[in-house]
Amino acid sequence: MELNWVIIGWLIDMILNGFVWLIIAAFSLLIIDGTDKWTRKAVKWMGKVDDWIRKFIDDLFEWIQQKNLKFLSSIILLIIFGILAQLGIIPKLIT
């Protein structure tokens, strides 16, 4: 009885590829789990920074209104809208 070496080679290749992909999947899950923790921390930090920025801008505009500095408020709004336009947020809001 002759052995079909093509089929045996194919089976060995499938088994070895299966083990390699199992190892890749295990390492990927470990890496994803680690980066998931970092992502959660980054999102929490971004939330805190967002709250600080909103409070700063709100306090700044209240101070500008109290001092009646319309020229300063227009420059600040121009800077804020320029930053939002450069980041591509305003075009996304328009469309």
Q: Where are the domains of the chain?
A: 31-94
Phi/psi at 3 (5° precision): -90, 135
Closest CA to 93 of 26, 41, 56, 84: 84
Q: What confidence score (pLDDT) does residue 52 get?
A: 93
CA distance 69 to 87: 27
Q: What is the pTM of this model?
A: 0.46
Per-residue pLDDT of the chain (95 residues; tens, 9 = 90+): 687 888 888 889 999 999 999 999 999 888 888 788 888 888 899 999 989 988 988 898 888 788 877 787 788 888 888 888 888 887 777 77
Q: What confidence score (pLDDT) does residue 86 get?
A: 87
CA distance 62 to 54: 12
33: helix, strand or coil: helix
Q: What confidence score (pLDDT) does residue 1 get?
A: 65
Please tell me the number of Cα atoms within 13 Å of 55 on its side-chain side: 6
